[in-house]
Structure 1
Amino acid sequence: MNEVINFLHQYQTVITVIVIAVVAILFDRLLRLSMNKFFGDSSRALRADFTKYILLKNAVSFIIFMVATGLIVYNVPSLRKISLTLFAGAGIFAAIIGFASQQAFSNIISGIFIVIFKPFRVGDVVNIGPDRSGIIEDITLRHTVIRSWQNRRIIIPNSIISAETIVNSSILEELTCEHAEIGISYYSDIETACSTIEKLVAELPNYIDARTDEEKKEGDPLVRTRVIRYDDSAIIIRAYLWANDPVAAFILKTEYYRAIKKRFDEVGVEIPFPHRTIVMKEPKADEKK
C-alpha cells in the first residue's frame, strides 16, 4: 500500500513539473506574441525606437522562467532539500556564485546601458572592432546578435561589445559616401582621367546627388574627384561615391570598379601594374675557369 502511495505521489510530482513547464512556455509564447503586436503598433504610431521593447521582452521571459524554476524546486521534495542545504551554506556559496556570475551581471548591465544610451539600435548597420560588421538583429540581456553580410549570426557578449569601437552607419542618417581609389600611369593625362571618372560615376544607377542647395548654386561638380598621392608607379585618384545607405554604397563601389577599366581603355588612360627587370650578369673570366 505504501509503495502504491509513493508511486502516485511521484507520478503527481512529475505531472506537476510538466504542467508548470508547459504553462511557463505557453505563457511566455503568448506574452511575447502580444508584446510584439503591441510594441510594433506603438513604435509605428509613435515612431519610437523598437530596441528598448526587445530588451523588455527578453527580461520578461527571464522572469517567467525564473518563477517557473522556483515553483518546480518547491514542488519536488528532493530539489527542495537540496535548495535548503544550499541556503544553509549560503555564506560559502554566495562568494562562489558571486564570483562566477560577475561576467553575467556585467553583460546585463551593459545591455541596459546599450538600450539607454543607444550606440546602436535593432536594424542598424554597424562595424564592431576591426573585423565584425553587419546588421543588428537582436539585443538580449546577455548578448547582441549581428547578422553578417554572409548571413551568419555573430553573437557578442554585451560587456565586450560595450568596450569595442563601434562604427554606426545608421545612427543619424544612412546617407553614405564611399571612397573609391584607382591608380593611373604617369604617362596618362590627369584631367582626362578625372573627367572620365566623373562622367562614369554620374551614370551609375545607385549614385545620388548629395550636394546642398548652396553647393549647387555655386556650381560644385556633381561628382567629386581628388588626386590623393603619388605612388611609386601610379598617380592615385579618389572618387567620392554617394548612395542612400551603406549597402547601396557598397554596390555602387563594385559597379564603379567593374566599369572603370573599360572606360579608361576607351579614352586611353592606363592603369599601371608592376614591372620587373631581370639583369643577367655574365660570369667573370676567373669564375669561368
Structure 2
Amino acid sequence: MGDFLDNHSGLKYTLIVLLVILTSYFFSKIMRFIYGTALVKWAENGKVDQTSVKFLNNAISFIIFIAASIILFINIPALKDIGITLFAGAGILAAIIGFASQQAFTNIISGFFIVIFKPFRVGDVVQVGELHRGVIEDITLRHSIIRNYENRRIIIPNSVISSETILNSSIVDEKTCVHIEVGIGYQSSIDKASEILVNLIENHPLFIDNRTAEEMENGAPKVLIRVISLGEYSITLRAYAWATNPPNSFVLKSDIFKAVKEAYEQNDIEIPFPYRNIINRS
C-alpha cells in the first residue's frame, strides 16, 4: 500500500512539473504574441516607443520563468525542503550565489536604466567607445545588440555599454555634417579648387541644404569652405557638407573624393603627395 502511495505521489508531482512547464511555455508564447502584436502596432503609430516594446517583450519570458519556479518550489515537497534548507544555511551559499548573480543583476538594472533614460533607442546609429559603430537592433534584459556595417552583430552587456561614452547620431536629429578635406598644392588656386569642390557637393543627390531662413537671407553659402592648414607640402581645404543621415553622409563623402580627384586633374589643380629622393652612392 505504501509503495502504491509513493508511486502515486511521484506521478502526481511529475504531472505538476510537466503541467507547470507546459503552461509556462504556452503562456509565454501567447503573452509575447499578444503583447508584441498590439504594442508594435502602437509603436508604429507613434504611441509607444519601439525600444520599450522590445525590452518588455524580452522580459516577459523571464518573469514567467521566475513565477513558474516559485510555483514548483511551493507545490513540490522535495523542492520545498531543498529551498528551506538552502535558506536555513544561507551563509556561505548566499554569498556564493550573490557573487555569481551580481553581474547578471547589474546587467538587468542597467537594461532598465537604458529603457528609462534612453541614451539610445532601437534603430539609432551609435558608436560605443572608440571601437564599435552600427545600428541598435535590440535591447534585452542582459545585453544590447548592435548591427555593424558589415552586417555582423556586436553583443555588449548592458552594464558595459552603460559605462561607455556613446556617440548617438540619431537621438535628436539624424542630419549629419560631414567634413570633406582635400589637400592642394601651393601653386594651385585656392579659389578655383574651392569652387570645383562646392559645385561637386551641391550637385550630389544626397546633399541637403541645411541653412536656416535667416542664413539664406544673409546670403550664407550652401557649402562652407575653410582653409584649415598650411601643411609641409599642401594646403588643406575643408568643406562642410550636410546629408540626411550618417550612412548617406558616408556615401556622399566617398563619391566626392572620387569626383574631386577627377575634376582637379582636368583643371590642373595638384593634389600633392610627399616626394622622396633616393641616392645610390655605389
Q: What CA distance in whole angstroms lies between the structure 1 residues aligned with 2:267 and 2:259? A: 13
User: 1:274 corresponds to which residue?
Assistant: 274
CA distance in 2, matches of 1:182, 1:47: 46
Distance 1:274 1:237 in 2: 18
User: Which residue does the alignment assign to 1:112?
Assistant: 112
Question: What is the CA-CA distance between 1:60 and the residue it aligns to?
Answer: 2.6
Q: Distance in 2 between matches of 1:134 and 1:12?
A: 52
Query: 1:179 maps to what in 2?
Result: 179
1:92 corresponds to 2:92 = yes
- Alpha-carbon distance, 1:47 to partner: 3.8
Q: Give the Cα separation in 1 of the matches to 2:76 and 2:152.
A: 41
Maintained 8 Å contact 1:58/1:140: yes
Residue 145 of structure 1 is matched in structure 2 by 145
Counterpart amino acid of 1:111? Answer: G
Distance, in Å, in 2 between the alignment partners of 1:27 and 1:50 is 23
Q: Which SS does the other structure have where 1:38 is aligned?
A: helix
Query: Tell me, what secondary structure is at the counterpart of 2:31?
Result: helix
Aligned residue type for 1:220: A
The residue type paired with residue 272 of structure 1 is: P
- SS, match of residue 100 in structure 1: helix
- Quote the Cα distance in structure 2 between the aligned partners of 1:7 and 1:173: 67
Q: Does 1:200 align with 2:192?
A: no
| Structure 2 residue aligned with 1:285 | none
Q: What whole-Å deviation, never above 9, does each CA across 1:149-185 have from its counterpart, x for those lacking one? A: 1111111111111111111111111111111112112
Q: Secondary structure of the residue that 2:123 maps to in structure 1?
A: coil
Which shifted more, 255-264 or 194-203?
Answer: 255-264
Measure, in 1, the Cα distance between the counterparts of 2:84 and 2:216: 77
Match of 1:124 in 2: 124
Answer whether contact 2:225 2:240 (CA < 8 A) is retained. yes
For the pair 1:262 / 2:255, whether they are aligned, the reply is no
How far is 1:97 from its partner?
1.8
Determine if contact 1:17/1:75 at 8 Å carries over to the other structure: no
Return the alpha-carbon distance in structure 2 between the equivalents of residues 259 and 64 of structure 1: 58
Q: Match of 1:129, as an amino acid?
A: G
Identical counterparts, % of pairs: 47
Residues 55, 140 of structure 1: 8 Å contact kept: yes
Could you tell me how far apart the structure 1 residues matched to 2:102 and 2:214 are?
Answer: 55
Which segment drifts farther, 259-268 or 33-42?
33-42
* CA–CA distance in structure 1, aligned partners of residues 238 and 196 of structure 2: 12
Range 61-70 or range 158-167, more displaced: 61-70
Q: Quick check: 1:228–1:237 contact (8 Å CA) kept in 2?
A: yes
SS of 1:237's equivalent in the other structure is strand
TM-score by length of 2: 0.91
Map 1:159-174 → 2, pairs under 5 A = 159-174=159-174
Aligned to 2:34: 34
Select between 51-60 and 253-262 the one with higher mean Cα deviation: 51-60
Aligned to 1:223: 223
Contact 1:201 / 1:207 at 8 angstroms: preserved in 2?
yes
Deviation at 1:123, TM superposition (A): 0.9
Is the CA contact 1:233–1:274 (under 8 Å) kept in the aligned structure 2? yes
Unaligned stretches of 5+ in structure 2? Answer: none
What's the CA shift for 1:17?
2.8
Aligned AA (2:266): E
CA–CA separation in structure 2 for the residues paired with 1:19 and 1:258:
66
What secondary structure sits across from 1:226 in the alignment? Answer: strand
Please identify, of 46-55 and 239-248, the stretch whose mean Cα deviation from structure 2 is larger.
Answer: 46-55
* Alpha carbons 1:180, 1:239 under 8 Å: kept: yes
Say if 1:7 and 1:243 are closer, same or farther in 2 by CA, change over 3 A: same
Instruction: State whether residues 43 and 53 of structure 2, in contact with CA within 8 Å, keep that contact through their aligned partners in structure 1.
Output: no
CA distance in 2, matches of 1:132, 1:43: 27
Deviates more, 1:187-196 or 1:89-98: 89-98
Contact 1:124 1:168 in 2 (8 A): yes
Q: Distance in 2 between matches of 1:197 and 1:254?
A: 13
Aligned partners of 2:39 and 2:48 also within 8 Å = no
Secondary structure of 1:101's partner?
Answer: helix
Q: Distance in 1 between matches of 2:15 and 2:268?
A: 83
Contact 2:211 2:222 in 1 (8 A): yes
